[in-house]
Amino acid sequence: MKKNILYILSILIIPAIVITGCKKKEKDDDHNHSDLTGTNAMRMEFTHKVGAQLLALTTGNYTNANGDQYTVSRFRYYLSNFRFRKTDGTYYTVPSDVNTDFGYFLIDEDNAASKNISIPNIPAGDYDAVEFLIGIDSLRNTSGAQTGTLDPANGMFWSWNSGYIFMMFEGNSPQSTAASNALIFHAGGFKEPSNNIKKVTLTFNGSKAMVRNNISPEIHFIVDVSEIFSNPNTINFATLNTAHMPMACMPIAENYADMIRVDHVHND
Amino acid sequence: MNRLIKSLGWLLIPAVFSACSVDPDLSPAPLPEEKIEFVIPQGFPQPVYNFTGNPLTTDGFKLGRKLFHDPLLSRDNSTSCESCHQQFASFAHLDHPVSHGIDNQFGTRNSPSLFNLIWHPSFMWDGGINHIEVQPIAPITNPIEMDESLGNVINKLRNHPQYPALFKKAFGSDSITTQLMLRAFAQFMGMMNSYRSKYDKYIRGEAELTLQENSGLNIFRAKCESCHKEPLFSDFSFRNNGLDDVFPSDSGRAHITSLPEDIGKFKVPSLRNVSVSRPYMHDGRLQTLSQCIDHYRFHVKPSPTLDPLLVNGITLSESEKQDLLQFLNTLTDYEFINDPRFKPN
């Protein structure tokens, strides 16, 4: 009985697959012709979590890998220098122009709009991975007064030691020995030996972001704040609770290098 | 001869009067020195900052000048850049060992004289600031200097009766941003250049040095030049010049790099205009140039990061010291410290 059903089904389905498959291929070829000349935006959404929980500023209570409890009052970071990998292995590099902030993003938990970003003019094609920096490249750290997301008035710039703060985490922990039990991690630094720019490469877990004239894919990222305090360095808030110089931030930066992961991709 | 001068003087006095009796209702014709253009002084190297991306204009310069002199940039509208950078002191703070900022607070370092900034690869005694355009952010936001946020400064400028029009004139847009404010600053500060001292005129063949000054120049070249390199009179490196043997309160360059080999190192200051910009050293501890020279002769303290060139101090006889002091006076650029273009408008 089962066999019969399978047999019938296969008779029905195989030609259907082949036919629609062929049709699809024709359709794709048609599309490719126009698609490859088109562009669309790549949209990216960032969801901030602490382990499995959603990040809640000031109200959320969390525990780090060392067993220290903490709350979060501020969480911001810069992303820049995006490159998208096509399935053929070539890359599309998002251009930059030193006169604008195009391609430089300041993501801020306290600013919902900042967690949805969009990069226009991505050539049509199938993409399977993304590369970017957590931080700001050395050129923009040494190019003088900038604007938009790179405006020093955004509070992510060190006035006394020129350069951007790449990741700003502020909060409290009863284990912190700093004044008011504060946790203050302002991580930046673009020069060796304390270069805290972290290059991140993430595949889309086998999915594709299919940029078409009429498709602007959206990549959903999860940013896990708990990663700032673990892997490879387990942070003990009794001994490391404030860091706002490039070298002092290195353990934190080594940790935040893997705080971002791709959750899923939409093509709609 | 004296009589001739006297009679010429009498002839000139009416000219002075007529110059003063301009009808105040008529806007005065721009003075010729208001025309702002940058030319690399003869014998100077290419500057680090050459106004690429921030084209120098007279209106941009004048806007920068107004900002430089405006206490509006401080939290309580009390303190301007000029408060600690006075033109007559070559834009240092005369007789203030350390900067004297808002609420009568004192900083930890001697506010440096300002000139030839576009040749500097970095700023501040510790070199922490890497670009002339971002330099003003530090004193504006420092709690013991001007203690104001950039956001507030921009809001004050936007709501000011004059600034929006001045930004429009300078940059073609009355939308005031941090970037444009900082670019205006850079245009003004980038034009604060000193290259008309007696020394410069001597180098250009336009003036003679006295025998003593000339001897001082030779001594300078033999004993001081390796750090205070002509024509800018600094090599802009960071060195420990032996003022101390421990550095508990100010580690200098190490504050920026966190490297033990940089502890106690500070940026070599230019010696131009040094006679008019006392006191001396990063913390203003020395009051006279004589004391500075004697520091190198007698008081250099050893420490692990002491500059190798100073391990044995600098040997100078008393008469060599006097000649050197005479030479240092030739580095005063009176045209610079009196230049009307740098005065508040």
Q: Is the pLDDT of residue A214 over 80?
A: yes
Token reading at B291: 């004391």
Q: Inter-chain contact A147–B177, Cβ cutoff 8 Å? A: yes
Quick one: DSSP state of residue A125? E
Q: Inter-chain contact B178–A145, Cβ cutoff 8 Å? A: yes
Cis peptide before B45 (omega within 30 of 0): no
What residues in chain B have their Cβ under 8 A from chain A's Cβ atoms?
A: 53-54, 124, 128-134, 137-138, 140-142, 149-151, 154, 177-179, 181-183, 186, 255-259
What whole-number distance in Å separates Cα of residue B136 and Cα of residue B187?
12
**Helix extents (H) in chain B:** 2-20, 58-68, 81-84, 137-141, 150-158, 163-171, 178-190, 198-203, 211-223, 254-257, 289-294, 318-329, 334-337
Nearest by CB to A161, which of B131, B154, B256? B256
pLDDT confidence of residue B99: 78
A63 forms bridges with which residues in the sheet? Answer: A69
pLDDT confidence of residue B32: 52
**Helix extents (H) in chain A:** 2-35, 138-141, 250-256
Closest CA in chain A for residue B136: A159
pLDDT digits (tens, 9 = 90+) for A1-21: 444 554 544 444 444 444 443
Q: ipTM of the assembly?
A: 0.86
Please report the residues numbered 124 through 163 in chain A whose beta carbons come closer than 8 angstroms to any beta carbon of chain B.
141-147, 151-153, 157, 159-163
Instruction: Say if residues B279 and B285 touch (Cβ distance below 8 Å).
Output: yes
**Amino acid of residue B330:** T
Closest CA in chain B for residue A247: B258
Q: What is the mean pLDDT of chain A?
A: 90
**Amino acid of residue B133:** E
**Chain B residues inside the 8 Å CB shell of A153:** 149-151, 154, 178
CA distances from A131 to A114, A128, A260, A261 (A): 19, 11, 11, 11
Instruction: Say if residues A167 and A228 touch (Cβ distance below 8 Å).
Output: yes
Quick one: DSSP state of residue B297? I
Cβ count within 10 A of residue B25: 5
pLDDT mean values, one per 10 residues, chain B (345 residues): 45 41 46 77 97 96 98 96 95 88 87 97 98 98 95 98 97 94 98 98 98 98 98 98 96 96 98 97 97 98 98 98 98 97 91
Strand pairing class (A39-50; A209-211): unpaired
φ/ψ (deg, to 5) at B124 = 80, 160
Work out the end-to-end distance of chain B between its first and last CA atoms, rounded to an integer number of angstroms: 40
User: At how many degrees (to 10) do helices B318-329 and B211-223 cross?
Assistant: 100
Residue whose pair of structure tokens reads 């604007």 in the numeric block? A147
What whole-number distance in Å separates Cα of residue B87 and Cα of residue B33?
17
pTM of the model: 0.87
Q: Label residue A195 exposed, middle or buried (CB < 10 Å: 0-12, 13-18, 19+).
A: middle
Q: Inter-chain contact A162–B149, Cβ cutoff 8 Å? A: no
Residue whose pair of structure tokens reads 């019938």 in the numeric block? A8
A245 touching B (Cβ < 8 Å) = yes
Maximum pairwise Cα distance, chain B: 68
pLDDT mean over A199-208: 97
Select the residue from A140, A146, A160, A247 to test the B interface by mutation, using most B Cβ atoms within 10 A.
A160
Residue whose pair of structure tokens reads 């709690």 in the numeric block? B143
What whole-number distance in Å separates Cα of residue A130 and Cα of residue A148?
24
Instruction: Say if residues A129 and A92 touch (Cβ distance below 8 Å).
Output: no
Nearest by CB to A153, which of B131, B142, B154? B154
Quick one: DSSP state of residue B66? H
Is residue A135 very low, low, confident or very high in pLDDT (cuts 50, 70, 90)? very high
Q: Inter-chain contact A151–B178, Cβ cutoff 8 Å? A: yes
**Chain B residues inside the 8 Å CB shell of A195:** none
Q: Inter-chain contact B133–A99, Cβ cutoff 8 Å? A: no
Select the residue from B153, B175, B179 to test the A interface by mutation, using most A Cβ atoms within 10 A.
B179
Residue whose pair of structure tokens reads 């967690």 in the numeric block? A115
Work out the end-to-end distance of chain A between its first and last CA atoms, rounded to an integer number of angstroms: 41
Question: Which residues contact residue B268 at a Cβ distance below 8 angstroms, ignoring those fewer than 6 apart?
Answer: B227, B228, B234, B235, B236, B237, B238, B239
**Among candidate residues B166, B189, B170, B2, the one with its CA nearest the CA of residue B81:** B189
Residue whose pair of structure tokens reads 């490391």 in the numeric block? A240
What whole-number distance in Å separates Cα of residue A114 and Cα of residue A46?
9
Q: Label residue B137 exposed, middle or buried (CB < 10 Å: 0-12, 13-18, 19+).
A: buried
**Amino acid of residue B188:** F
**Chain A residues inside the 8 Å CB shell of B127:** none
3-state SS, residue B14: helix
